[in-house]
Amino acid sequence: MPLSFADVVPVALFPAQGFRWRLATRGLSADAWLQFDDTCTTYLAEKCRVLQEHRDDALAVVPGSEVAAVELADLVAEALTAAGRQLPPDRAEQHPIEWAARGVQEDLCLLERDDAGWRFTAAAVCFPTRWSPAEKVGLELRAVHDPVPRYDDIAETVDRFFDRLRPGALAWRPNWSLVGDDRLRLPVDDRQAPAEVVDPVGELWMRVERQTIRRLVDHPNAAVFTIRVHRWPLTDVLDDVDTGLAHELRTMPSDVADYKNVEEWRSRLVATLARRSSGR
């Protein structure tokens, strides 16, 4: 069985204050770093397909990144062994981040600190939410987030968070999108939810990325960023999100709503959620 919404997001997904970009990280224990469930076979088979058919986009590495990525792969191997899961084959023949990603449902990114800040140096991202790993590799964090409206509001907070995270420490955060289908891989062609929606509740999926950050110990100038994609029909999670989602959409600035591609129909979804809430 896939994990439930409450299992994935055991906190309020939408703060009562309404929209603003938030880092909103929480501490995480090492034994809760990766998630394993009964959908693992499906995820890993889809990863194999993506790495074969879209390899130039899904796997992106900077020369030299394999040094820190070895530690990343060792941590994944420890987690797989502890969970009784099988290790991927042919480790010596692959970049460590590819080998590690082939064994877990999470996508994996490596960030390394240099004089300019935290830089995106390696990625095995098979299930992006409308972005291209190949276009981002080698960039510093601000440049990675360049298309995001108002990212400057939290850019310094993000940089400070990575700088202050202790070697060996872990944190996690949820990130949400409304999308028009349940595919794991959503390539960069469209931005998140569809522009035209007839029935916002019936047609949409709630897509949540459980993102974790882990500072490495042997390579303390490196950190692992993982992304585990979960998705549910919006109708299935309304009891978990409706009031908060309506407020988030209502208070979202237009430039952000355009970026998320919800501007054309968010007012209709808000109205639908309000009617549902008042009819309880």
Positive or negative: CA dihedral 12, 14, 17, 22? positive
- Average model confidence (pLDDT) across the chain: 93
pLDDT value at position 191? Answer: 62
**Averaged over 115-122, what is the pLDDT?**
95
Which of 228, 236, 251 minimizes the C-alpha distance to 204? 236
How many C-alpha atoms does 80 have within 13 Å on its Cβ side? 20
Q: Indicate the pLDDT class of residue 279, thresholds 50, 70 and 90.
A: low
In a domain, 225, yes or no: yes
Q: What is the DSSP pairing of strand 117-124 with strand 59-61?
A: antiparallel
Host domain of residue 28: 18-278
In a domain, 11, yes or no: no
Q: Is the pLDDT of residue 280 over 60?
A: no
**Averaged over 201-228, what is the pLDDT?**
97
Spatial separation of the C-alpha atoms in residues 49 and 70, rounded to whole Å:
24
Q: Indicate the pLDDT class of residue 198, thresholds 50, 70 and 90.
A: confident
Q: Is the pLDDT of residue 190 over 70?
A: no
What is the per-residue DSSP string for 174-222? Answer: EEEEEESS--S-B-TTS-SS-S--SSHHHH-EEEEEEEEEEE-SSSTTE
In a domain, 39, yes or no: yes
Q: How many CB atoms lie within 10 A of CB 132?
A: 17
In a domain, 254, yes or no: yes
Q: Indicate the pLDDT class of residue 277, thresholds 50, 70 and 90.
A: confident
pLDDT value at position 192? Answer: 62
* pLDDT tens-digit readout, 144-178: 999 899 999 999 999 999 999 999 999 999 999 99
**Cα Rg for the chain, rounded, in angstroms?**
19
In a domain, 272, yes or no: yes
Spatial separation of the C-alpha atoms in residues 145 and 111, rounded to whole Å:
14
As to burial, measured by CB atoms within 10 angstroms (0-12 exposed, 13-18 middle, 19+ buried), residue 88 is buried
Q: Indicate the pLDDT class of residue 109, thresholds 50, 70 and 90.
A: very high
pLDDT value at position 138? Answer: 96
pLDDT value at position 81? Answer: 97
* pLDDT tens-digit readout, 29-85: 999 999 999 999 999 999 999 999 999 999 999 999 999 999 999 999 999 999 999
Q: Which residue has the higher pLDDT, 12 or 161?
A: 161
Identify residue 200 by its one-letter amino acid code: P
Spatial separation of the C-alpha atoms in residues 93 and 156, rounded to whole Å:
38
Q: Indicate the pLDDT class of residue 114, thresholds 50, 70 and 90.
A: very high
Spatial separation of the C-alpha atoms in residues 250 and 191, rounded to whole Å:
19
Spatial separation of the C-alpha atoms in residues 105 and 124, rounded to whole Å:
11
Spatial separation of the C-alpha atoms in residues 121 and 126, rounded to whole Å:
16
**Averaged over 254-260, what is the pLDDT?**
92
Which of 138, 144, 143, 141 minimizes the C-alpha distance to 62? 138
In a domain, 7, yes or no: no
Q: Indicate the pLDDT class of residue 18, thresholds 50, 70 and 90.
A: confident
In a domain, 195, yes or no: yes
Structural domain count, the chain = 1
In a domain, 3, yes or no: no
**Averaged over 96-100, what is the pLDDT?**
98
